[in-house]
Amino acid sequence: MIVLLTLYLACATEADQNIATSNENAIPVEKEQEQKRPRVIIVGDSLTAGMGLPVDQAYPKLLEQRLDMENLPTEVLNAGQSGDTTAGGLRRVDWLLQQKPDLLIIELGANDGMRGIPLAEVQANLAAMIEKAQKEEVLVKLMEMRIPPNYGEQYSAGFHKIYQTLATKYEIELIPFLLADVAGDASLNQADGIHPTKEGHQKMAESSFATIKKWRENFK
């Protein structure tokens, strides 16, 4: 599984560098926002962007549809950008917060890990994003990330520890690793063996749904 995950993330990083796309244009800018539904923004990389698929087949849209089915209407906006890193997310977060989300979900770090970005830098970038959101009184949830030991077991373990450290420090909830049941399964990945298929995104949505549903049920 580690070997397959290594190949998956390594190839994804290379593809993300060569095929960069942005979903910012998909987010409506409202001068005077009158929200009828609570708004969630998911800032992430190609996993969130749904590279290779129509945006309505990526897991953010699937979460929105599932919440609607549960009679919990919620606006889930996809702010995934292929190839993005924690530094890129930090550069974008001010603009995203201007869209007045009720919940900001951060799905970033895998590309940092595969490039061997210093752990202190990864942690500082994520911490700055969380602090910016909390300053605006926006609730934050952090998606757990895992990487294979390409740069050694110490780096890999330290990388994984970042997410729990931040969750504890800022008292935020971790969302389970999206690829836990997807990476390495050919039936859930596109022909490139890198990016999840429609079915893969369905699995990803399922893995995070319980956490989002709980938040929505308690939203006031």
Look up residue 114 and give its two tokens: 């595969």
Residue pair 132/97 in contact (Cβ under 8 Å)? The answer is: yes
Residue pair 114/131 in contact (Cβ under 8 Å)? The answer is: no
Residue with token string 């190609």: 46
Task: Please pick, among 195, 201, 207, 208, the residue that the annotation labels catalytic.
Answer: 195
Look up residue 128 and give its two tokens: 């700055």
> Which residues are paired to 106 by β-bridges?
43, 142
Task: Please pick, among 56, 68, 94, 192, the residue that the annotation labels catalytic.
Answer: 192
Cα-trace Rg, the chain: 16
CA pair distance 156, 2, nearest whole angstrom = 12
Local structure of residue 177 (DSSP, 8 states): P
Residue with token string 């919940």: 103
Sign of CA dihedral 89, 181, 207, 198: positive
- Kindly provide the residue ranges of all beta strands, DSSP E only, lying in 24-148, ordered along the sequence: 39-44, 75-80, 103-107, 139-143
CA pair distance 204, 141, nearest whole angstrom = 16
Task: Please pick, among 16, 45, 46, 102, the residue that the annotation labels catalytic.
Answer: 46
Can 46 be counted among the known catalytic residues? Answer: yes
Which residues carry out catalysis?
46, 192, 195
